[in-house]
């Protein structure tokens, strides 16, 4: 009798734990949130990148780099057999069209290019360097290129690997070979990554990289995602996707970070873009994350771009987009 009662009690506790974890999982993914699509007449789908762009970086004079063709565990790929590409688009044109940037130089396997987050750094001599998070065979490297503007091409310079950069999602360059990067998971094994996400283990982090110094500078994130920097270089912004937060840090002289505050939203925050003139932070958001990781072509995920006028301003302006039946996830 006592043994049966014990088994019943343990079974009830196990079921309660499973139910609690499931409810917490759905809450982190905003699984119950529905949005009403809004068609914006001044927005248009740009031909040539129908399979999606994961990240973009805009130079001050209007040239934009786009990271395309990402294959990421758990995310729908619309062209899984095609290598990834870096596209260039001139936003000064009335009807800009993307072009594939050819890559020159030896040492990079272009057939396994799987680009994720990107960032640029402009040197004192106006040389533009492009940093690309790459996942060849689902591993992680950072590829460094020199942008050859006249030829409209990229010159491959080097590949960066480090044990503290196992699952890089995004990065922001702060020097010719210096950057901050987000690791969106602690584990690299697909099964362990799935459990890490399901259990809500906040083991994601931010790493500072330089040729002589590589170290963790922030941790405790539930899927650290987009990262960017203020125009004056004093503040670093980190998007915590499943925590629904943007964290603001002060950069210290040695590259360390001092936490200032965290802003919470009713949406999953992805990549961050900073206006170089005003400092406004633009955010690509997912109102319902379940539709990203469990893709249904009959009910595709909506997009929720937002703008924050400054990190001191508590107001966020968001618009839900529906591009005539093709509502894209907003990375």
Q: Which residue has the higher pLDDT, 329 or 201?
A: 201
Is residue 315 very low, low, confident or very high in pLDDT (cuts 50, 70, 90)? very low
Q: CA 274 to CA 297: how far, in whole Å?
A: 32
Is residue 158 very low, low, confident or very high in pLDDT (cuts 50, 70, 90)? very high
Please check whether residue 213 is in contact with residue 199, taking contact to mean a CB–CB distance below 8 angstroms: no
Feature table: binding site for Ca(2+): 54-55, 118, 169-170, 225, 270-271
Residue 209 reports pLDDT greater than 60 = yes
The sheet carrying 153-160 orders its strands as 103-104, 153-160, 141-148, 128-134, 115-122
Is residue 133 very low, low, confident or very high in pLDDT (cuts 50, 70, 90)? very high
Feature table: binding site: 54-55, 118, 169-170, 225, 270-271
Tell me, yes or no, whether 88 lies in a domain. yes
Of 100, 171, 168, residue with least CA distance to 135:
168
Of 55, 250, 83, residue with least CA distance to 168:
55
Residue 327 reports pLDDT greater than 60 = no
Tell me, yes or no, whether 16 lies in a domain. no
Residue appearing with tokens 């004093």: 234
CATH number assigned to the domain comprising residue 98:
2.120.10.30
pLDDT of 51 reads 74
Supply the residues annotated as catalytic. 116
Tell me, yes or no, whether 227 lies in a domain. no
Q: What is the pLDDT of residues 45-89, one digit of tens each?
A: 788 887 789 999 999 999 999 999 999 988 888 888 899 999 999
Please check whether residue 239 is in contact with residue 221, taking contact to mean a CB–CB distance below 8 angstroms: no
Q: What is the tally of structural domains in the chain?
A: 1
pLDDT of 314 reads 46
Please check whether residue 64 is in contact with residue 58, taking contact to mean a CB–CB distance below 8 angstroms: yes
Range of the domain at 282: 23-169+186-201+260-318
Mean pLDDT check: name the lowest of 24-28, 224-228, 246-250, 299-303: 299-303
Q: What is the pTM of this model?
A: 0.91
Tell me, yes or no, whether 324 lies in a domain. no
Q: Calculate the CA 106 to chain-centre distance.
A: 28
SS3 track for the chain:
CHHHHHHHHHHHHHHHHHHHHHHHHHHHCCCCCCCCCECCCCCCCCCCCCCCEEEEEECCCCEEEEEECCCCCCCCCCCCCCCCEEEEEECCCCCCCCEECCEECCCCCHHHCCEEEEEEEECCCCCEEEEEEECHHHCCEEEEEEEECCCCEEEEEEEECCCCCCCEEEEEEEECCEEEEEECCCCCCHHHHHHHHHHCCCCEEEEEEECCEEEEEEEEECCEEEEEECCCCCEEEEEECCCCEEEEEEECCCCCEEEEEEEECCCEEEEEEECCCCCCEEEEEECCCHHHHCCCCCCCCCECCEEECCCCCCCCEECCECCCCCCCCCC
Tell me, yes or no, whether 178 lies in a domain. no
User: Token pair for residue 130?
Assistant: 């492009």
pLDDT of 317 reads 46
For the chain, the average pLDDT equals 89
**C-alpha atoms less than 13 angstroms from C-alpha of 47 in its C-beta half-sphere:** 2
Is residue 1 very low, low, confident or very high in pLDDT (cuts 50, 70, 90)? low
Tell me, yes or no, whether 329 lies in a domain. no
Mean pLDDT check: name the lowest of 71-75, 230-234, 306-310: 306-310
């Amino acid at each position: 009798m006592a043994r049966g009662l014990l088994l019943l009690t343990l079974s009830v506790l196990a079921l309660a734990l499973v139910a609690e974890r499931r409810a917490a999982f759905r809450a982190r993914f905003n699984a119950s949130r529905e949005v009403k699509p809004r068609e914006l007449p001044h927005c248009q789908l740009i031909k040539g990148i129908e399979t999606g762009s994961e990240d973009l970086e805009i130079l001050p004079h209007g040239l934009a780099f786009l990271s395309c063709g990402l294959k990421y565990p758990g995310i729908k790929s619309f062209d899984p057999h095609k290598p990834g590409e870096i596209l260039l688009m001139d936003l000064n044109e009335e009807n800009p069209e993307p072009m594939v940037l050819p890559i020159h130089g030896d040492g990079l396997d272009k057939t396994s290019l799987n680009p994720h987050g990107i960032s640029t750094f402009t040197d004192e001599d106006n040389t533009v360097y492009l940093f690309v998070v790459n996942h060849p065979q689902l591993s992680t490297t950072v590829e460094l290129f020199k942008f050859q503007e006249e030829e409209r091409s990229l010159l491959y310079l080097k590949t960066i690997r480090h044990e503290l950069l196992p699952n890089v999602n995004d990065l922001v360059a702060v020097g010719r070979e210096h950057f901050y990067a987000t690791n969106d998971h602690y584990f690299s094994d697909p099964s362990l990554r799935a459990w890490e996400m399901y259990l809500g283990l906040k083991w994601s982090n931010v790493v500072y990289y330089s040729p002589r110094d590589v170290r963790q500078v922030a941790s405790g994130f539930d899927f650290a995602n987009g990262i960017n920097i203020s125009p004056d270089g004093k503040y670093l912004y980190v998007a915590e996707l499943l925590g629904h937060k943007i964290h603001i840090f002060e950069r210290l002289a040695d590259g360390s970070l001092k936490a200032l505050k965290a802003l919470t939203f009713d949406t999953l925050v992805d990549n961050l873009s900073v206006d170089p003139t005003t400092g406004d932070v633009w955010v690509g958001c997912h109102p319902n994350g379940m539709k990203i990781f469990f893709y249904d072509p009959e009910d595709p995920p909506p997009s929720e771009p937002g703008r924050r006028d400054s990190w001191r301003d508590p107001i966020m302006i968001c618009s839900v987009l529906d591009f005539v039946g093709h509502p894209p996830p907003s990375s």
